[in-house]
Amino acid sequence: MKKLDFFVPILPLLSSPSSVSKPFSSSSSKTLTLTLAPTPAPTLSALFARAVDPSSVASWNSAIADLSRSGDPSAALSAFSSMLRLRLRPDRSSLPPALHSAAAISALGPGRQLHLLALRLGLLPDLFVASSLVHMYSRCREPCDARAAFDETPRRNPVLWTAMVAGYVHNDLPLRALSLFRSFLAEEGPTAVDPAAAVSALAASARIPDKRNSKIIHALAVKIGICTDLGVGNTLIDAYAKGGGDLVVARKVFDGMPERDVVSWNSMVALYAQNGLSAEALELYCRMLNGGGVRHNAVTLSAVLLACAHAGALQTGKCIHDQVVRMGLEENVYVGTSIVDMYCKCGRVEMARKAFDRMKEKNVLSWSAMVAGYGMHGRGQEALQVYSEMRKSRVTPNYITFVSVLAACSHAGLLKEGRHWFNAMKEEYNVDPGVEHYGCMVDLLGRAGCLDEAYGLITGMKIKPDFVVWGALLSACRIHKNVKLGEISAKKLFELDPKNCGYYVLLSNIYADAGRWKDVERMRILIKKRGILKPPGYSLVELKGKIHCFFVGDRKHPQHNEIYAYLEKLFLKMQEAGYVPDTGSVLHDVDEEEKGTVLRVHSEKLAVAFAIINTVPGTAIHVIKNLRVCGDCHSAFKLIAKLVDREIVVRDSHRFHHFKDGFCSCGDYW
């Protein structure tokens, strides 16, 4: 680091006494230094080349501001130091660009010294200087010092208020930001709120679950006529949609914007993609291309790739990949990671690996995505091999990485490896396990039959177990027919997620396996009494770039007659091959024959039949289901894959299943 003598030349020019009050934690030493990043300081000749008059403070101010605005904060601070060496006295226009430069590189030490200089020069009451001080301390992660600078300013204007509100937002203190914004309204009045202040307040409201604040600020923006501002509109979209907010209102804001930029489009596309609304995301992306009036960028493509990943839209994803290549963005680490994720979630893990290997730069998310990709396809050893390569590359694994590693162990039944890395994440990498890690471990232990160990792990958790953790134990109890622990986990789940029908079905099945038919009936009565409905299962198939969606018993598809006729022929062949419907997962108060009829029209069976009819013989079939694939469909697909000589790839809510030649890649371990 390079140190520059800073205040010695200026001290003799100060009229204030030497025993001045210190700014927060500032040194009172008469010899102060400014610590900068190792960027070469501009020489005087270089500054002269910028038309600087060495004797003119105004000329120096212009040069410092120019360097600060042009993205060279270290050079701006060096220029400020050079001005001081010439014994020129800074004025109210000198300090703000220097403070903004210190903020840009989070240089707290130089920032404090600039604060001290402002104090000695008597410039602290100046609102331009005060707001720059608040900004500097906020960016240096010192919100208390920022608030002290704010409070010590004798008079305030909207710029200063906004700087402090924005400072709280930057330091992830949204409640304090909103409280200060209310004080701003009380002291200055609603008309003092400009777009910048509204954006800061909306950014704070986006970070808290209660969306009433967003609605209030939105109403205020409409009332004072700033809701048409581009920045306000963009932030409103974010505020309404974050944290499980209102996507419908966010879309209304978007549609009502008189002007939209690439941020507007990216925000809306990303929000749809992140909330699993892939069709809406892709539709909006097409609108953006065909008349949106803006040029898409790396952020757009990453969001669209996420939508393709959720929908399993492989052909569309390939087209986006081609666009990425044409735009020269394949080496962008975020876009590259999105491509890897897309191919993994569309069932093409080999293509994902090729894209991964082509990435010149890989960050922890890139490695984690590839580990997760192998894991979700049940290829645990390959996932751990990638994880080993990651550590050899000296990339430190993080919270997400260990979720991917443990999930891979869980899907592949790698009990020894899972135990090792669960312990190592804290001991070797100081990563505290979260509910996701515990959920993976409970699933791994439970499937391996270590139910007591899994239950002990839950009871020993330092954080409260959620429905994922208890759900993993309940599923394991169903596999191993453990009634006692099944009842314990089900009781917890009924408290945490009382409307989820799946837990009642699992417990009912555990009772049925144990021959406790009165308890089976009791569960059925409880489901009816509580008005619990099973969420509609649906399955997606992509054909020629179009997504086809099927629900159970669906007859809305244009080809439904052809699909049902083909299924009838297929079931006759399956019965000849020894197929017997598995009715255990059907929770209906009907006879076995009716249960078999219900199973025949499950959404994934309709999707597979549609794909077989409409694709060339021998090609692989890819289906995505929103729920866990049922036992009957799993058995049926092993047989269908053999009968039609196709590979059937099904992605359910848990993992991928590759059916081929009468077998599944999961080894019936799901």
Query: What is the per-residue pLDDT across 188-203, written as a single tens digit (0 to 9) for each?
Result: 999 999 999 999 999 9
pLDDT of residue 45: 41
Q: What is residue 599's predicted lDDT score, i.e. its pLDDT?
A: 72
pLDDT digits (tens, 9 = 90+) for 24-77: 543 333 334 444 444 444 444 454 445 678 888 999 899 899 899 888 899 899
Sequence-distant (≥ 6) Cβ neighbours of residue 437 within 8 angstroms:
402, 403, 406, 422, 425
Angle subtended by helix axes 278-289 and 262-274, to nearest 10: 160
Residue 150, helix vs strand vs coil: helix
Architecture of domain 260-361 in this structure: Alpha Horseshoe (1.25)
Q: What pLDDT band is residue 16 in, cutting at 50, 70 and 90?
A: very low
- Quote the CA–CA distance of 191 and 158 in Å, as a whole number: 10
Name every residue whose Cβ is closer than 8 Å to that of residue 407 and which is 6 or more positions away in sequence.
372, 375, 376, 440
Rounded distance between C-alpha atoms, residue 213 and residue 185, angstroms: 14
In terms of Cα–Cα distance, which of 261, 339, 319, 325 is closest to 293?
Answer: 261
> Token pair of 249, please?
């209102």
> For 291-316, what is each residue's pLDDT tens digit?
777 888 999 999 999 999 988 888 89
Domain ranges within the chain, ordered by starting residue: 260-361, 538-664
Closest CA to 353 of 364, 365, 367: 367
Q: Which residue has the tokens 């060495």?
A: 54
pLDDT at 581: 77
Task: Dump pLDDT digits (tens) for 141-162.
Answer: 999 999 999 999 989 999 999 9
In the chain, % of residues over pLDDT 90: 62
Contact criterion met (CB below 8 Å) for 319 and 285? no
pLDDT at position 462 over 80: yes
Which helix or strand (DSSP H or E) is residue 500 part of? none
pLDDT at 120: 92
Phi-psi sector, 312: left (phi>0), alpha (psi -120 to 50), beta = left
pTM to 2 decimals? 0.78
| pLDDT of the residue at 559 | 92
Q: Are 34 and 141 in contact (CB under 8 A)?
A: no
pLDDT value for 23? 60
Kindly tell me the sign of the dihedral angle through the C-alpha atoms of 444, 449, 451, 453.
negative
Average model confidence (pLDDT) across the chain: 86
Over the stretch 329-383, which tens digit does the pLDDT of each residue have?
988 999 999 999 999 999 899 999 999 999 999 999 999 999 999 999 989 999 9
Q: What CA–CA distance (Å, rounded) separates 262 from 269?
A: 10
- In a 13 Å sphere around the CA of 650, the CA atoms on its Cβ side amount to 34
Question: Who has greater pLDDT, 46 or 449?
Answer: 449
Q: Per-residue pLDDT tens for 213-253?
A: 889 999 999 999 998 999 999 999 988 887 556 888 899 99
**Mean pLDDT of the 85-109 span:** 93
Q: Which one, of 145, 223, 655, 174, lies nearest residue 411 by Cα?
A: 655
pLDDT of residue 537: 83
pLDDT of residue 598: 65
Range ranked top by mean pLDDT from 8-22, 113-127, 629-643: 113-127
